[in-house]
Amino acid sequence: MKFIAFNVREDEEKYFAQWEKETGNEVLRLPDMLDMSSVKKIEGFDGVLALQTGTYPDEMFTEFKKFGVKVFSIRNVGVDNINLEAAKKNGVVVTNVPAYSPNAIAEFSVTQLMQLLRNTTIFRNKVAKQDFRWAPYVGKELRSLTVGVVGTGRIGRAAIDIYRGFGAKVIAYDLYPNPELKKQGIYVDSYDELFSQADVITLHMPATPNDYHLISTENLNKMKDGSYIINTARGALVDTKALITALKSGKLAGAALDTYENESDIFNHDLSNQEIKDETFKELLSLDNVLVTPHVAFYTETAVKNMVLIALNSAKSVCEDGTASTVVK
């Protein structure tokens, strides 16, 4: 079988090569994004692999049908950028990688919070200027805080374990509570309860139209003064302008954002010699109580390996058996 993979990075190369050797199948690897100008390259292949947070237009799946390609395997978990109906209508089976490494994302989100709590960016900047004084940047310890986890799927649960290890009090909200966690009494009954009780809100949920701008001015006002927001989930969950206002007023003490609502033209691009045109994003970067990272919470050796191998096995399985355990329904 012959597959074509888009957005392939150097660090993924060895896993593609390993899989080709082990299975005897071929994979053409391209650095290009999959979009309406590159989609014609899929002609003649049995399946397509891609990884990106940008949107795939519905017409892309008409092209899949035209070229007789029946499987689209994404090397990541989120499918909020794919119209599954459009794929289905064109006979395309979509697979994802539901659990490449929940720990990778959970560990990163905790790391970012710890940096905010101990003012590490501020101290790094001060030390660079040879200012070695301490005050007034006294830190906070996790065991003195209540962490509110939104979303208790695999990533949220991994985060809960880590926070408990640090001695934090953890509360959680999920529309679909996990039975094991429910027995432990970790859940509150509403967002309002979570927002009013937590010192830290950490987001570990997919983006759905219902949760668009969950972190809004209205909800920020329900939070404790001096609280923290951690978003390693999806940019669309946070109203960035409202967040900036809350950070500037002191309502929020800090935020760590590994996703941004308009990230697709910014993250994973080298813009070092260009002016960033997005004024909201520029303002975010200028704040010293914000940590911005370019959607790298997932980016560990374990995760990258699993993303490549699981996506390839899914594509192969759909071609051979018409389905895979990772088919997105």
Active site members = 234, 263, 295
| Out of 53, 146, 196, 216, the residue judged to bind ligand COI by CB under 6 A | 53
Nearest Cα neighbor of 110 from 153, 167, 191, 72 is 167
Nearest Cα neighbor of 133 from 149, 122, 146 is 122
Instruction: Decide: is 298 part of the binding site for ligand COI (CB under 6 A).
Output: yes
Say how far apart CA 61 and CA 248 lie, in whole Å. Answer: 44
Instruction: Provide the minimum distance between the beta carbon of 65 and ligand COI in the complex, in angstroms, as a whole number.
Output: 25
* Residue with Cβ nearer ligand COI (31 or 68): 31
| Out of 29, 204, 295, 316, the residue judged to bind ligand COI by CB under 6 A | 295
| Out of 54, 57, 78, 98, the residue judged to bind ligand COI by CB under 6 A | 78
**Segment near ligand COI (CB under 6 A); pick from 74-82, 141-149, 193-201, 213-221:** 74-82
| Out of 27, 48, 71, 77, the residue judged to bind ligand COI by CB under 6 A | 77
Instruction: Decide: is 253 part of the binding site for ligand COI (CB under 6 A).
Output: no
Instruction: Decide: is 101 part of the binding site for ligand COI (CB under 6 A).
Output: no
| Out of 76, 90, 240, 317, the residue judged to bind ligand COI by CB under 6 A | 76
Nearest Cα neighbor of 156 from 141, 171, 140 is 171
* Residue with Cβ nearer ligand COI (72 or 298): 298
Instruction: Provide the minimum distance between the beta carbon of 98 and ligand COI in the complex, in angstroms, as a whole number.
Output: 9
Name the β-bridge partners of 203: 150, 231
280 close to 240: Cβ distance less than 8 angstroms: yes
Let me know how long the chain is.
329
Instruction: Provide the minimum distance between the beta carbon of 217 and ligand COI in the complex, in angstroms, as a whole number.
Output: 26
Structure tokens at 221: 């006002």
- Binding-site size, ligand COI (CB under 6 A): 7
Phi and psi at residue 266, in whole multiples of 5°?
Answer: -115, -55
Binding site for ligand COI (CB under 6 A): 51, 53, 76-78, 295, 298
